[in-house]
């Protein structure tokens, strides 16, 4: 049975494994090198107060995770979050992303956030559809801002106001 819960430091190896697979094999993130355990621990420690990391767990194994992260380090953006979701390859297409978004849409306003913005590679139609289904609106496209696997990519911005 699938369970969604707040992530703990014990989940970091699984979170890192899922993320690094995405880094190496997709354009869902614009990192091009796998993240080290230290880098991931530093990232995780920034998720306090308004910002959170949650995990999807099935049979005691983390199979996906999602986060609300600071959109910017400038104070005026303090009520805006960057939302991200990553699912283990073998678990994609099973509705887990939808459940993770649903949980973050509860946590955002509970934590005092006003809005969340997703940055989605132009190649990632599945993610665009997932966020649209969850109530996010397309608010713009940043043209040719990323380059990965030899491709110049656009990034779509999608937003929800809680």
Residue range 52-104, pLDDT digits in tens: 999 999 999 999 999 999 999 999 999 999 999 999 999 999 999 999 999 99
Residue from 2, 7, 12, 9 nearest 36 by CA: 12
> What total of structural domains would you count in the chain?
1
Q: Which letter, b or e, does each residue of 43-79 get, where b requires 16 or more Cβ atoms within 10 Å of its Cβ?
A: bbeebeebbbbbbbbeeeebbbbbbbbebeeeeeebe
Dihedral sign for Cα 112, 7, 160, 141, please: positive
Calculate mean pLDDT across residues 130-153: 97
Write the CA distances from 107 to 26, 92, 111, 117, 150, integer angstroms: 28, 23, 6, 15, 37
Q: What CATH number is given to the structural domain containing 6?
A: 3.40.630.30
Range of the domain at 142: 2-161
Residue range 36-51, pLDDT digits in tens: 999 999 999 999 999 9
How does the average pLDDT of the chain come out, rounded? 97
- CA–centroid distance for 131 within its chain: 11
């Amino acid at each position: 049975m699938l369970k969604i819960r707040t992530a703990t430091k014990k989940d970091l190896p699984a979170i890192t494994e899922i993320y690094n697979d995405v880094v190496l094999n997709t354009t869902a993130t614009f990192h091009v090198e796998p993240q080290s355990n230290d880098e991931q621990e530093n990232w995780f420690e920034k998720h306090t107060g308004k910002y959170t990391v949650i995990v999807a767990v099935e049979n005691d194994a983390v199979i996906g995770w999602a986060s609300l992260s600071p959109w910017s380090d400038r104070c005026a953006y303090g009520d805006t979050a960057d939302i991200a979701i990553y699912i283990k390859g073998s678990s994609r297409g099973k509705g887990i992303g939808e459940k993770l978004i649903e949980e973050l849409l509860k946590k955002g306003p509970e934590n005092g956030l006003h809005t969340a913005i997703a940055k989605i590679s132009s190649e990632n139609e599945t993610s665009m559809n997932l966020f649209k289904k969850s109530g996010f609106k397309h608010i713009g496209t940043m043209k040719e801002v990323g380059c990965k696997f030899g491709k110049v990519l656009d990034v779509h911005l999608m937003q929800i106001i809680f």
